[in-house]
Structure 1
């Protein structure tokens, strides 16, 4: 799948943490599917963690492009701390402070957390 051009439609810094897994385009809309990279969050890097898939996807409507609605279908990853049996995810509050993401996108991700 050629998704290289679609990266230009994403908020700045998005591809630091997500990959484009799919894109579906119709006459009226574009849906960009994003999956969080399988990179253990820094705050959990010293623990033994294992990726356990994703939370349910969240769909966000972004600004229209050339008369088409633009949607971001976002799948956030979760990890399990093996010693404790508890699930953890990336702390988007920490990311937003030092990120290159737009404040709008970082605020949205913080709301999910």
Structure 2
């Protein structure tokens, strides 16, 4: 799908950290699937991280499209921090302070995954 069109449909800044996977038109709804890019979170830049796949997919309701409910099917990435031996993931509060992503959207993502 055209990146410019996606930027109009999805929350601002989302495509910096997520990549579009697919869209489904399922019985009166749209499902948009996105997965987090393998970009090391800035707070762990000095650590040795290894991608360990994704958390379970989360479903978040977004604005309707063409009068139909729209759902974002989001897969967030997780990494193994070899320095600490712990699984780590992106802190959306830090992202909001350091990028073009709106604080509102970062708060939305943070709240969606609690």
The structure 1 segments of at least 4 consecutive aligned residues displaced by more than 4 Å after TM superposition are none
**1:65 is aligned to 2:69:** no
Q: Is the 8 A contact 2:97 2:103 kept in 1?
A: no
Q: Can you give the 5+ residue segments of structure 2 that lack an aligned partner in the other structure?
A: none
Task: Tell me the SS of whatever aligns to 1:12.
Answer: coil
C-alpha deviation, 1:3, in angstroms:
5.3
What is the TM-score when the length of structure 1 is the normalising length? Answer: 0.88
Task: Tell me the SS of whatever aligns to 1:20.
Answer: strand
1:39 maps to which residue? Answer: 39
RMSD (Å) for aligned C-alpha atoms: 1.7
Number of residue pairs matched?
112
1:19 maps to which residue? Answer: 19
Q: Is the 8 A contact 2:79 2:87 kept in 1?
A: yes
1:109 maps to which residue? Answer: 109
What is the TM-score when the length of structure 2 is the normalising length? Answer: 0.87
Q: Is the 8 A contact 1:79 1:89 kept in 2?
A: yes
